[in-house]
Amino acid sequence: MKIILIFLFIALLALSARAEKDFSALDSAASPETKSRFAMLDDVRILANGLLQLGHGLKDFVHKTKGQMNDIFQKLYIFDKSFYELSLQTSEIKEEEELLRQTTARLQINNEEIKNLSQEMNLKIEDLIQNKIQLQEKVWGLEDKVTKLAITQPTVQETNEISSLKAFVERQDNHIKQLLKIVEDQHAQLDKQHNQIMELEDKLNHIELQELAENSFTGEHTEPEATPFFLRNSTAVTYKYEGAAPDCTALYNSGIQTSGTYTIKPNGSEAFDVYCETKFGTSWTVIQNRVDGSLDFNQTWDAYVKGFGDLNEEFWLGLNKTYSITQQGDYILRIELQDWKDNKRYVEYAFNLGGPETDYTLQLSRISGSIPNALPEQTELRFSTADHDLAVINNFNCPENYLGGWWHSECEETNLNGKYVAPRSKGRLDRRKGLYWKPKKGRYYLLKSTKIMIHPTDLKSFD
């Protein structure tokens, strides 16, 4: 481009010089035709000047474009360098995670070996205790002999026998003390190994929780369907009512077939508002709904009994209201779960809910579902909160540590009324204070939303 501009510039200069020369030679004898030619030369000179200015403009444009391209190349170089550094950091994180898993596996193996060694030591201790008992019996026998010797002068043989037994007893005592010290050292080492394993498990759980948005429900196999326990009445529930309906299903059957907030009046109970959700050709009564963590579920016992929240947003209907509905017949409990990649799963149970005298004890039997079960079946699960925990297991207050009221049998990890925790939030996540679904044999599912609904057993179709 530069060469073309140079040639163009030289050509214009040559043309301009030649025109001036011709003009000076012919100026004296200029005729009308010659003057016409001079006018044409003036036009050529103007054109040449214009082309010269155009060349300068093109030259400036080329310099400007070259500078912009240099800036682009420099930015691309910085981007490539940043991407490469990010790739190296990602590789280092993966290597550290793999090393952490390998270390955890080795510590678990060491833990098993230490447990086996501890069991062997316990057996030896039991043997030593038996030997000690035998020695005590021998000592008692010696005391009897010493008593007799106090009366009669012992012989040389008896004196030697007493000295020998005393030396034997001292050796056995020293041996027992040494073994006890070894056992104490082994227990200390076992406790240290156990603490290390717990710390590594916490680190692994923290890494897994940060990856829960990626390790979602997708690809999970469903658990085989279980057989429900015996229901009080296997026939469909038939309602005869005047005024308010006894539940959402009755409202649907009466012609109100849109999801929303309505007033119901269960048999033998006062009227109250509920949220009815229409699906599967019927209507379900919603007893719990969580979508965004806007409502604090760490409430008192009285709040869980009466209910709290907004029926059109997040809420807990209330144990007393739920109990009054379920006393009208046999009901199905449906739990709907959604993870942080918007994958949805569900599980349905036949259930029985006790009254206030049983702390609203819950019994479950799985009917169907698309996720492994995380709630104990055929077991009385007592509802408890931090200020009303009658089911203390090994002096461990479950609701106080897990936050939110729930049906507990032994402090399970699953608690759909726990603290709402989003993935990759600042600070270290505490697995005991999140909204999780945790099968007994399986990993944690960090949840984005949950919904618990009930319906009479006359439902003819399931999801």
CA distance 344 to 366: 18
Evaluated on CA atoms 60, 65, 71, 74, the torsion sign reads negative
- Token digits for 366? 């799985």
CA distance 36 to 33: 5
Question: What is the per-residue pLDDT across 24-70, written as a single tens digit (0 to 9) for each?
Answer: 554 544 555 666 666 788 888 888 888 888 888 888 898 888 888 98
Domain at 248-422+432-456, CATH homologous superfamily: Gamma Fibrinogen, chain A, domain 1 (3.90.215.10)
CA distance 283 to 456: 10
CA distance 427 to 353: 39
pTM confidence score? 0.51
pLDDT of res. 452: 98
Evaluated on CA atoms 270, 273, 275, 276, the torsion sign reads positive
Question: What is the per-residue pLDDT across 201-238, written as a single tens digit (0 to 9) for each?
Answer: 656 655 554 555 444 565 554 444 433 333 333 333 33
Do the Cβ atoms of 261 and 274 come closer than 8 Å?
A: yes
- Token digits for 66? 């070259």
Lowest mean pLDDT among 175-179, 182-186, 408-412: 408-412
CA distance 455 to 332: 5
CA distance 184 to 94: 39
CA distance 100 to 103: 5
Q: Which amino acid is at 1?
A: M
Residue pointed to by tokens 């209507």: 283
